[in-house]
Structure 1
Amino acid sequence: MASFPLSLPDARGERLTLEAAPQRLVSLVPSQSELLAHLAEDRLAGVTRFCIRPDHLREQKEIVGGTKNVDVEQVKALQPDLVLANIEENTRETVTALEAFAPVFVTDVKSVPDAATMIRAVGKLIAQTPDAKALAGRLERAFADLGATDVLPLRAVYLIWRDPFMTVGRDTIIGDVMERAGFANAFADRTRYPEVSMQEIAEAAPEVVFLPDEPFPFPQKDRFSADLRDALPETPVEFVDGQLFSWYGPRLADAPPYLRNLRRQLQASEPDRS
């Protein structure tokens, strides 16, 4: 168990010191809201409107705006003694404003190991070390068991947005999950979330294109999948569960069976590939 006072550095290198275990938590990141619900839901006071897991969360917790447009005064009214934020999801201006009245721990998760490290750190901060260590260990074992396949990775493009199309590069949790699941990211030579044209997608010569249901709901927008199928008539275009590729809380520990099955299904469609 963590002992207090407790001091931990966050992803910015800022050292956060807590005199006692926090009792009123606010999370500004969907993945981390799900994590706090898993570890200490009774202490979770506020979340964003995008914090949709567990299903009941938005009905039972105060909504403090969106990830990019947090209502700082609403957060202040909740009197939190710890706020969880993220470098990618939240703005620097929001974090600075919140730090005027509450401790803020900022994360930056770009890989499965980063996710395990973040889970353990949050567990320490909220005095839930045993449960957090158990979850992080389960996550690590699940991906270790996923392992490398005995066939060549499938070259894949994973799109997250349209008009323009946006994909994932290196240094992203999605890119890391793809590689661990046996999919070679066709845009791994780029960083973060680059815009790409239909021509660039075609020139990348993917063996599969993944269309997730978030952040853009591709399965509900037939036009974009139809355009891709027209441009890449020989390439499978697969709708996938975006949360299992990108959420880095408890859901990530449950992703490997889904990823393994997805890889096997695609592998079976190319029986002569080795």
Structure 2
Amino acid sequence: MKVISLVPSITETLFDLGLTSEEIVGRTKFCIHPKELVKDVEIIGGTKNLNIEKIKALKPDLIIANKEENVKEQVEELTKDFKVLLTNVETLEDNYYLIKQLGHLFGKEEKAQYFNIKTYEAFDIPKPENKLKVAYLIWKDPYMTVGGDTFISRIMEELGFENLFKDQKRYPEVQLEDLKEADLIFLSSEPFPFKEKHVAEIQAICVDQKIMIVDGEAFSWYGSHLAKCGEYYQNLLKEIN
């Protein structure tokens, strides 16, 4: 079966399940894991700006897309000519069923079960005794955070944190003054690549908050990626405590 993945975390999951670059024939430029394998796969644009003609030329048997990461109109155009699996992952339970579904689809049930167990173990760690309020920034100019209806917010909750902006939707813009109610401010490594200089800028306004740069992939990449983050989560919680 020839597959095109339009989602970075799903591309990684397919390779982790044991598919090869002969089966995965197309990926986006943001599909960067696993590095040594994705290099052999044709790039078909970005997640939001797909090269439809390039996709058609590859003649895939299946295209895997995601409700949030891909543009609805582009996905609908592809469904006219190809079988498209449209995924939607909002919770860890959704993630469990996504991996299980992919495992069944490609005859990789054992591998899928392995990654689901490892994901469970990654979150089966001691949580903070006091639930700290966290502001999680994903962008600068303007500053943007995550609302309570996002996958990132759900991962924060699974780790024992409370999203300061849990009552808001999607990815609202915020001012630095808005962050002063937080106990912690997380600066994500992606999509905006926050660095130490940004910590200093924000600390000048948010003087009482602990500010940390965190691995954005560990909070936003679903699929098999979460199964590899157990040690990172443990170290993060130790650093905070």
Q: TM-score range by the shorter chain?
A: over 0.9
Q: Give the match for residue 142 of structure 1.
A: 122
TM-score, structure 1 normalization = 0.83
Find the partner of 1:251 among 219, 225, 228.
225
Residues 121-144 of structure 1 show CA distances to partners (whole Å, capped at 9, x for unaligned) of 11222222222122122212332x
2:60: which partner in 1?
80
| SS of residue paired to 1:164 | coil
Identical residues among aligned pairs (%): 40
Counterpart CA distance in 1 for 2:20 and 2:116 is 18
SS at match of 2:73: helix
Gaps of 5+ in 1: 1-22, 268-274
Does the 8 Å CA contact 2:191/2:216 hold for their aligned counterparts?
Answer: yes
Relative contact order (alpha carbons < 8 A, sep ≥ 6): 1 or 2 greater?
A: 2
Q: SS where residue 39 of structure 2 aligns?
A: helix
CA distance in 2, matches of 1:165, 1:251: 26
Aligned residue number for residue 102 of structure 1:
82
Alignment of 1:1-274 (within 5 A): 23-39=1-17, 40-42=19-21, 43-143=23-123, 145-146=124-125, 148-149=127-128, 151-202=129-180, 205-219=181-195, 222=197, 224-267=198-241
Distance 1:41 1:219, change over 3 A: farther
CA distance in 1, matches of 2:37, 2:136: 29
Superimposed CA distance per residue, residues 30-86 of structure 1 (whole angstroms, 9 cap, x where no aligned partner): 000000111212411110000011112442100000000000111111111111100
Could you list the per-position Cα deviations for residues 188-220 of structure 1 after superposition, in whole angstroms to 9, with x for gaps in the alignment? 111221111122222xx1111111111100127
RMSD of aligned residue pairs (Cα, Å): 1.5
| Counterparts of 2:29 and 2:215, CA distance in 1 | 20
Larger displacement relative to structure 2 (64-73 or 48-57): 48-57
Contact 1:208 1:236 in 2 (8 A): yes
Q: Which amino acid aligns with 1:235?
A: Q
> Which protein has the larger Cα radius of gyration, Structure 1 or Structure 2?
1
Q: Secondary structure at 2:204's aligned position in 1?
A: helix
Give structure 2 stretches of 5+ with no counterpart: none
**Conserved 8 A contact 1:110-1:173:** yes
For 2:238 and 2:202, the matched residues in 1 are separated by 23
Distance 1:97 1:129 in 2: 31
CA–CA separation in structure 2 for the residues paired with 1:103 and 1:147: 43
